[in-house]
């Protein structure tokens, strides 16, 4: 754990290992934040998408209570639920939300990641925003991971139970599992020592304690918990839905949560995986400044969770091999050798090349401008050719602007605001290059056009 923490530049991490129905290892490593106390098993972290398994459990609990039929349309329980096509709205079932086969896209689930709204209506507003979203596939056809599925599922829990989402999770899950260091608001978590989250700037973790706690995405990504509390959660999943004397879900309900539909790997808040040669269930969780991983190896009655106070959107391997590495050691296997993602190196390299090309283009454009302001023989004789030269250069700059502001985010299925939220170093360089291209392109074009003579044809 210490060598991986150093390799991944992880400020702090908490680890829980459970086996045969009890916690066998609880430990904290590193710091909870700049100048803060060391991480302990009781230190809360934001769980990221590990939160989805809590929402899935809540929905299945309501199904077992007879209040929800997983195969009924969502609109039966949320009459106001809408997506871009009204016909599709009535075809999406509750099960499809939890299996991520509703047709809601990855991008749709990331549109409001940076939303600072912390009001009681934030969840309803996030679901209402889907009325503008067209599905990427017909419901039930194809798996596509989307936070939006679990945002809707969270509002479903709230609507059917008659309680707020927070109250339901607290009463029906946290309390039975004795998760006293788990929270559904940033303020409550901070009072109990929430680890300070970090983002990566040019390879170094930088504290980012003031990022929005996106309440509208709470059911998908913003539940907070400690390693010790998460050990109780793992035990319940490995013990037929039971923790001590509390039964959260039946054996059949647990099987529903853990079993994906035919042809898919995603169940309900858990993905099928492999640990060595053994079937496993796992889920990653990430928000801009935290990362988590939960792993279950049912055949060994083994569970591992790692909670980190840093995230690196473009370089994930050093942060995501901790739980599998710990499980490998326990099972007598060798952990994988840590590696950095070449994608981040490639992105940095491409940006460096682009900056160099921009500077070279700037120098060339200034030289061209000086030439055109000299006697007429320094310019092309054809005025049309002059205009084409100016227009071509402007098109290149406008293309760069559109590329950096819109195409690059689309490649990663995220909005520009989301990019700035998750990978600020790369994103701010993209914004700077885009704004430079636009500003210099317009300024150069105006200067070049003004340098042309006003006559219809350039003098010989």
My answer on whether 319 and 397 are in the same domain is: no
Write the pLDDT tens digit of every residue in 411-437: 888 888 888 998 899 999 999 999 999
- CB half-sphere exposure, 212, CA atoms < 13 A: 19
What is d(CA 389, CA 339) in angstroms, rounded to the nearest whole number? 47
pLDDT at 460: 36
Residue 286 has pLDDT above 70, yes or no: yes
What is d(CA 293, CA 313) in angstroms, rounded to the nearest whole number? 15
What is d(CA 372, CA 104) in angstroms, rounded to the nearest whole number? 54
**Domain assignment of residue 435, given as a range:** 342-451
User: What CATH number does the domain containing 269 carry?
Assistant: 3.40.710.10
Determine the length of the chain: 460
What is d(CA 352, CA 69) in angstroms, rounded to the nearest whole number? 54
Average pLDDT over residues 236-253: 96
Average pLDDT over residues 88-110: 95
Q: pLDDT-derived band of residue 369, with 50, 70 and 90 as boundaries?
A: confident
Residue at a domain's end among 290, 307, 330: 330
Average pLDDT over residues 149-169: 98
My answer on whether 389 and 319 are in the same domain is: no
My answer on whether 300 and 177 are in the same domain is: yes
My answer on whether 202 and 62 are in the same domain is: yes
408, part of any domain: yes
Write the pLDDT tens digit of every residue in 310-347: 998 877 776 778 999 999 999 999 998 888 777 788 88
My answer on whether 6 and 112 are in the same domain is: yes
**DSSP code for 81:** -
Give the list of residues 6+ apart from residue 289 with CB closer than 8 angstroms, or none: 46, 197, 198, 199, 208, 211, 309, 310, 311
My answer on whether 324 and 352 are in the same domain is: no
**pTM value > 0.75:** yes
Least confident residue range of 178-192, 240-254, 362-376, 435-449: 362-376
My answer on whether 102 and 249 are in the same domain is: yes
My answer on whether 245 and 361 are in the same domain is: no
Burial (0-12, 13-18, 19+ Cβ within 10 Å), 18: buried
My answer on whether 44 and 7 are in the same domain is: yes
Q: pLDDT-derived band of residue 215, with 50, 70 and 90 as boundaries?
A: very high
Count of structural domains, the chain: 2
My answer on whether 346 and 326 are in the same domain is: no
My answer on whether 379 and 321 are in the same domain is: no
Residue 84 has pLDDT above 90, yes or no: no
């Amino acid at each position: 754990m210490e060598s991986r923490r150093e390799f991944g530049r992880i400020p702090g991490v908490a680890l829980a290992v459970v086996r045969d129905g009890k916690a066998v290892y609880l430990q904290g490593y590193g710091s909870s934040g700049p100048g803060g106390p060391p991480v302990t098993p009781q230190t809360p972290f934001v769980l990221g998408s590990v939160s989805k398994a809590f929402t899935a459990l809540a929905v299945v609990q309501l199904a077992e209570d007879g209040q929800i039929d997983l195969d009924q349309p969502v609109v039966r329980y949320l009459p106001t639920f809408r997506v871009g096509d009204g016909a599709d709205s009535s075809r999406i079932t509750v099960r499809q939300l939890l299996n991520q086969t509703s047709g809601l896209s990855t991008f749709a689930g990331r549109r409001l990641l940076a939303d600072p709204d912390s009001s009681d209506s934030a969840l309803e507003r996030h679901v209402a925003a889907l009325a503008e979203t067209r599905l990427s596939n017909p419901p039930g056809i194809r798996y596509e991971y989307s936070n939006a599925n679990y945002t809707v599922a969270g509002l479903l829990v709230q609507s059917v139970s008659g309680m707020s989402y927070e109250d339901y999770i607290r009463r029906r899950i946290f309390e039975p599992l004795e998760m006293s260091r788990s929270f559904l608001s940033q303020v409550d978590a901070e009072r109990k020592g929430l680890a300070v989250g970090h983002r990566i700037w040019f390879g170094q973790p930088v504290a980012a304690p003031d990022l929005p706690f996106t309440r509208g995405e709470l059911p998908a990504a913003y539940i907070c918990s400690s390693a010790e509390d998460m050990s109780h959660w793992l035990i319940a999943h490995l013990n037929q839905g039971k923790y001590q004397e509390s039964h959260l879900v039946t054996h059949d309900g647990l099987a529903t949560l853990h079993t994906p539909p035919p042809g898919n790997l995603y169940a309900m808040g858990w993905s099928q995986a492999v640990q060595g040669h053994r079937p496993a269930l796992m889920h990653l969780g990430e928000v801009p400044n935290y990362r988590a991983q939960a792993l279950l190896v049912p055949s060994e009655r083994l569970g591992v969770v790692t909670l980190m106070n840093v995230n690196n959107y473009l370089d994930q391997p050093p942060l995501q091999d901790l739980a599998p590495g710990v499980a490998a050691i326990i099972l007598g296997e060798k952990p994988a050798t840590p590696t950095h993602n070449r994608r981040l190196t490639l992105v940095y390299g491409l940006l460096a090349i682009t900056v160099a090309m921009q500077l070279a283009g700037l120098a060339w454009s200034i030289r061209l401008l000086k030439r055109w302001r000299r006697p007429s023989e320094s310019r092309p004789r054809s005025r049309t050719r002059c205009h084409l030269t100016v227009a071509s250069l402007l098109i290149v700059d406008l293309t760069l602007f559109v590329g950096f502001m819109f195409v690059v985010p689309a490649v990663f299925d995220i909005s520009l605001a989301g990019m700035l939220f998750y990978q600020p170093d790369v994103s701010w360089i993209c914004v700077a290059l885009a704004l430079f291209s636009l500003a210099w392109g317009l300024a150069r074009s105006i200067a070049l056009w003004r340098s042309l003579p006003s006559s219809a044809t350039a003098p010989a």
